Amino acid sequence: MKRQKNANRSARLKQLFSISFILFSILFFVFLALFRNTLTGYTSQLKQSYMDPQIVKSESVKVDSAYNYIKNKLPYKSTFLEFGAIGCSSCKQMEGVLEEIRTLYPKEINVQFKNVRLKENQTIMEYYGIVVIPTQVLLDREGKEFFRHTGVLTTDEMVKIFNSKLEKK
């Protein structure tokens, strides 16, 4: 009789543990989904804070000379940096968006794809604290970041962002 009670209690504890584990797992994934952007932003800032100050300085000069259109007298009003990789399915979805933005704003927006798998793009990726791809970083006419998004955006969403920024200037 006592053994049967212990066996029942043990079975209930196992069942309770299993249910608790499943509920915890579900809550954990819901938490990740809800706070994905916050976590990505925090991780990006953390990555940037650990970057060597000399590299930050040299990369800052490169970014300024390439994307500060007031200084280099290029006609662009904004830069669209897309950080991704060849073979990434979400990045593949963004390829069409990049082409459409190039077509819609040929003289206003400088569209740049940065393949994070290439060695020459590693420092700019670190400079912007890219931890998840695809990530879109939008720069104003002076080369200063004004928008960042991780994941896939549609052309319509990008057009709204660009139009609101271009109208302010």
Alpha helices in 68-127 (DSSP H): 89-104, 122-127
Q: What pLDDT digit, counting tens, does each position of 134-145 carry?
A: 999 999 999 999
Q: Considering the entire predicted model, what is its pTM?
A: 0.77
pLDDT of res. 2 = 61
pLDDT of res. 42 = 67
Q: Are 155 and 100 in contact (CB under 8 A)?
A: yes
Beta bridge partners of 150: 135
The answer, yes or no, to whether residue 32 has pLDDT greater than 70, is no
CA distances from 86 to 51, 92, 114, 117 (A): 26, 7, 10, 8
Lowest mean pLDDT segment, chosen from 58-62, 82-86, 162-166: 162-166
Domains, the chain, in order of start with CATH, read 52-168 (3.40.30.10)
